[in-house]
Amino acid sequence: MKGSIIKVLLIACLSMAGCATYGHRTFTTDIFNKYHVVKNGLSMRFEPVIDKEKSTWYLNLSPAKYDLLPVFLSIENESGHIKRINIDGVYLMAKLEQIKYASLPIETAVKTIQSSGWIPSLLFGAVGSFAAGSVEESKDEDIYHKAFRPRIIEPGGRGQGLLFFKVPKDDILNKEFALCLIIDNLDNNSTEEEWLSFETR
Partner 1 sequence: MKRSFVAAITLFLLINIGGCQGGQIRGDFSDKNWLHDGLGYYLKEPLNMKLNKFSLGAGVGDPHIIGEAKTGMFNSKSVVVSDIPMQDIVYNALKDAFSKMGFVIVDERNSADLITTGQISQFWSREFANGWTPEYAKAAVRYDLVIRDNNDKVFWAKSVDVEEKSTGIGVIFDATSSVIPTLKKALSQSIFQVVNDANFQAALNKIRKNAQALESDAAYSR
Residues making contact with partner 1 (CB under 8 A): 15-16, 19, 82, 84, 87-88, 105-108, 130-131, 133-134, 137, 141, 144, 149-154, 159, 186-187, 189
How far apart are the C-alpha atoms of 66 and 95, rounded to whole Å? 22
As measured in angstroms, the least distance from the Cβ of 179 to partner 1 is: 17
Rounded to an integer, what distance in angstroms lies between the CA atom of residue 34 and that of residue 134? 34
Of 112 and 134, CB closest to partner 1: 134
Based on CB atoms, which residue is closest to partner 1, 7 or 111? 111
Q: 154-169 burial, b for 16+ CB within 10 Å, e for fewer? A: eeeeebbbbbbbbbee
| C-alpha separations of 175 from 48, 99, 181, 197 in Å | 11, 11, 19, 11
Least spacing, CB of residue 40 vs partner 1, in Å: 17
Nearest CB to partner 1, comparing residues 150 and 168: 150
Minimal distance in Å, beta carbon 184 to partner 1?
9
